[in-house]
Chains A and B, each alone.
Chain A
Amino acid sequence: MEVPILKQGTVLIATFQAALSDADLNQLRMGLVQQVVKFRSRAVIVDVTAMDVMDSFASRTLREIAHMIRLRGAETVIVGIQPEVAFAMVQLGLTLEDVTTALDLEEGLAYLNEKFKNTH
């Protein structure tokens, strides 16, 4: 199932609906990287609340998305990682060290608003 990408002001929001295939993830990655420049977005929020399992491919893709978005001149925030998923990821060594994370979508937006407040 394809992941819809919503435009909300200067932010792009991608919400994972359920378990995704590797092809869906690749498509999402390409979609985000293209649209972030197309819409002149300053940030991307990826919401993974619905994911109760995160395999190494998904986790690596998230990191790649974050790095590619940075190279395209914007910022990525991953939101809504479930507690169990978080610990499982850490145990597998998938710590997303250089990616910003937030509790949920609201927190992620609040973080970005705070950050962009001075530059508007």
Chain B
Amino acid sequence: MAKRNEMVKETVESNNQVTDLSRSEAPSELLRELVSHLRQNRTQLREEWVVRISEARLLTAMTKEEIFAEATSVYDSYVEALETETFEALQAYARNLSERIIPRGVETHEVVGIVLLLRDVLARSLFAKYQTDFKKLNRILDAYEPAANRIANTVAVGFVQERERVIRQQQEAIRELSTPVLQVRERLLILPIIGVIDPQRARQLTEQLLRGIRTNRAKVIVIDITGVAAMDVTVANHLVQTVEASRLLGATVIVTGLSPEIAQTLVTIGVDLGKMNTVGDLQGGIEQAERLLGYKVERLAEPR
């Protein structure tokens, strides 16, 4: 590393000697010069960056030490990406970083914010270094800006992608967990629904229920919606349709645990209450279902 720095220093000197010819120097050489500058001033620039981060009140979910550690690795990856002009490593790092910090509630604007701050800190140091040579400063910035923009882009996109991946994964998990169709007795199914029902989930619920009726040869189904706080008109209509479709399969549906809000919605959309069999709570619903199926549950002894 030190060797390369020396080499770069030499180039810098030679560049200074032939300032007029330097128009023709390749942007990659300028980048190399830039990188060596950033490496030499690593400690100072990194400190400055960390100070700016805490001033801007970004990454408040993390401790000072953590910010410093992350800042160090981000700084190094940043310089490396500038040097090699390959962004895969940085992308991988951004994804890895996102994986670690997303669960701690770090927001997109914070991640974008710190990368933009670093970009700013580095640009300022370039201004300071080349303030006497305006032409050179211009060319250095020409080389620096596109690369820096790409880095900012890469990190932001990496973060957002990771976030979306997490969200998709969670949605899938919820979807799988959320619609169990359980047999509690022969020919009796219960379908506990918890959480928010969107039209897509409602459709899935209906499909699973109707298929469950077929495979379990169910006669009575208790749909418990105690865990559903509210329902919009579309979903309420869908629920009514599900009840009717179940009847076409020869099964009776009992809906339990309607909240006052949902009751209000159902009344507002003018559901024919003769078609809806409703009972206050799940226990009552199961008892009613047992009566319909001809079960009689008796306690044989006092509980010990």
Interface residues, chain A, CB within 8 Å of chain B?
78-79, 81, 83-84, 86-87, 89-91, 95-97, 101-103, 107-108
Contact = CB atoms under 8 A, between A and B. Distances in A.
Contact of A83 (B214, B217, B241, B275): B214
B51 interface: no
Given A87-B206, A97-B275, A81 B248 contact: yes
A83 B249 contact: yes
Nearest to A94: B248
B245 interface: yes
B247 interface: yes
A11 B190 CA distance: 33
Interface in B212-265: 213-214, 217, 219, 241-242, 244-251
Interface residues of B, number: 19
A103 B214 contact: yes
B80 to A, nearest CB: 56
Contacts of B241: 87, 90-91
Contacts of A81: 248-249
B217 A103 contact: yes
Contact of A89 (B217, B242, B245, B275): B245
Nearest to B251: A103
A50 to B, nearest CB: 15
B291 interface: no
A114 to B, nearest CB: 10
Nearest to A89: B248
A96 to B, nearest CB: 6
Contacts of B214: 83, 103
A90 B244 contact: yes
B245 A90 contact: yes
Contacts of B124: none
B182 interface: no
A95 B251 contact: no
A84 B209 CA distance: 11
11 contacts: A83-B245, A86-B246, A87-B242, A90-B241, A90-B244, A90-B245, A95-B244, A103-B249, A103-B250, A107-B217, A108-B250
Smallest CB-CB A-B distances: 10 pairs: A83-B210, A102-B250, A86-B248, A86-B245, A103-B250, A90-B241, A87-B245, A90-B244, A90-B245, A95-B244
A27 B275 CA distance: 32
B198 interface: no
Contacts, number: 51
Which of B214, B247, B250 lies at the interface centre, i.e. has the most chain A CB atoms within 10 A of its CB? B250
Given A101-B249, A102-B250, A107-B250, A83 B244 contact: no
A103 B249 CA distance: 5
Contact of A87 (B210, B217, B219, B275): B210
Interface in B168-223: 206-207, 210-211, 213-214, 217, 219
A84 B242 CA distance: 11
A107 B251 CA distance: 11
Nearest to B209: A83
A108 B245 CA distance: 17
Contacts of A87: 206-207, 210, 241-242, 245
B250 A90 contact: no
Given A87-B245, A108-B250, 9 more contacts: A86-B249, A87-B242, A90-B241, A90-B248, A91-B241, A95-B244, A95-B247, A96-B248, A103-B214
Which of A87, A91, A103, A107 lies at the interface centre, i.e. has the most chain B CB atoms within 10 A of its CB? A87
B213 A83 contact: yes
Which of A84, A86, A91 lies at the interface centre, i.e. has the most chain B CB atoms within 10 A of its CB? A86
B212 to A, nearest CB: 9
Nearest to B247: A101
Nearest to B246: A86
Nearest to A99: B248
